[in-house]
């Protein structure tokens, strides 16, 4: 099996006039950390609900582990863990008792409780009531619950939403650890681009219900080989006029700054030399690249 999740031209609408997903075909490689990205209203949450069966897929367009999801319900959850929206915890129970309750329902051996508590670094708080947990601890407990059955696939919808910076880093490290130590495929729906960039091996970018890009982070970088650079310089307006015939994509950003699109970073020295020899005083050169820049290019092109 090459892919843990596949959708084949998945379409969904809540009404005739409101189409949410249009011919969405995603392929999530086995063992990957796959970031599913898109602006608000793009269709991320709807996709997550379809992947977990919360919304039925009447067209059999969703495959999990190579088989249509509909044909595996509800047994698929023996091999699939999910955290969609807010964690469903029993706040009056301790972290350990939350896990014991779910383990009993799912027929999971009690020795798994110690294993997942250690994995999510909550051994110290196992006897503490969940209502006393911080938001980050609640998220880690919810992930521990999702991991109880030792699933091959973990689906997480905005797992760091609302967390402080320390909590975000803890969850990121935890997910990378789970992926490396267990080989678990992790599918993350998120809007925090900086975190996705730090942890994910693959990304899918969606806008207005349509897939705009899918591939590895390296493939995304190659797609946007064009390099956008900002020069902080004296007389920016004058330099825009001098250079716009050669560089039509040049734009004045501020009184003393302009941005320009080059074919690659290798073109920066020649342009810098040209400006300096022409008497320009360059105070700063900023290269704008990375997932945030690429994301904006893809989602704003609609």
Residue range(s) of every CATH 3.40.50.300 domain in the chain: 3-216
DSSP state at residue 280:
-
Whole-number Å distance between alpha carbons of 63 and 290? 31
Look at the domain 224-299 and name its fold: Alpha-Beta Plaits (3.30.70)
Reading the block at residue 61, the tokens are 């367009």
pLDDT tens, the chain, 302 aa long: 699 999 999 999 888 778 899 999 999 999 999 999 888 888 898 999 999 999 988 889 999 999 999 889 888 888 999 988 777 899 999 999 999 999 998 888 888 999 999 989 999 999 999 999 998 899 899 999 999 888 999 999 888 877 888 888 888 888 999 999 889 999 998 877 777 878 889 999 898 899 988 988 777 766 665 677 889 998 889 999 889 888 887 888 888 898 887 777 788 898 999 999 988 889 998 876 656 666 666 666 55
What's the CATH number for 3-216?
3.40.50.300
What pairing do the DSSP bridges indicate for beta strands 153-157 and 80-83?
Answer: parallel
Contact between 215 and 195 (Cβ < 8 Å): no
Does this model's pTM top 0.85? My answer is: no
Whole-number Å distance between alpha carbons of 176 and 183? 10
Partners of residue 286 on adjacent β-strands: 230
Residue range(s) of every CATH 3.30.70 domain in the chain: 224-299
């Amino acid at each position: 099996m090459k892919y843990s999740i596949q959708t084949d031209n998945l379409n969904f609408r809540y009404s005739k006039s409101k189409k949410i997903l249009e011919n969405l075909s995603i392929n999530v490689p086995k063992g990957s950390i796959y970031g599913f990205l898109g602006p608000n209203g793009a269709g991320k949450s709807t996709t997550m609900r379809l992947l977990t069966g919360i919304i039925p897929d009447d067209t059999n367009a969703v495959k999990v582990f190579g088989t249509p999801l509909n044909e595996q319900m509800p047994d698929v959850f023996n091999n699939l863990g999910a955290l969609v929206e807010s964690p469903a915890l029993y706040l009056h129970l301790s972290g350990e008792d939350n896990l014991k309750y779910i383990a009993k329902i799912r027929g999971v051996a009690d020795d798994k409780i110690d294993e997942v508590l250690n994995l999510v670094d909550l051994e110290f708080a196992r006897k503490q009531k969940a209502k006393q947990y911080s938001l980050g601890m609640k998220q880690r407990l919810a992930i521990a619950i999702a991991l109880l059955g030792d699933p091959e696939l973990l689906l997480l919808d905005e797992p760091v939403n609302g967390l402080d910076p320390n909590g975000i880093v803890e969850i990121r490290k935890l997910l990378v650890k789970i992926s490396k130590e267990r080989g678990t495929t992790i599918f993350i729906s998120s809007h925090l681009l900086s975190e996705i960039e730090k942890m994910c091996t693959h990304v899918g970018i969606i806008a207005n219900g349509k897939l705009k890009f899918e591939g590895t982070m390296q493939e995304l970088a190659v797609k946007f080989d064009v390099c956008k650079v900002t020069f902080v310089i004296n007389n920016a307006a004058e330099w825009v006029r001098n250079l716009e015939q050669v560089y039509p994509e040049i734009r004045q950003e501020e009184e003393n700054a302009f941005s320009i699109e080059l074919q690659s970073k290798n073109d920066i020295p020649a342009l810098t030399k040209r400006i300096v020899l022409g008497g320009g005083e360059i105070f700063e050169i900023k290269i704008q690249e990375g997932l945030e820049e690429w994301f904006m290019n893809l989602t704003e092109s609609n």
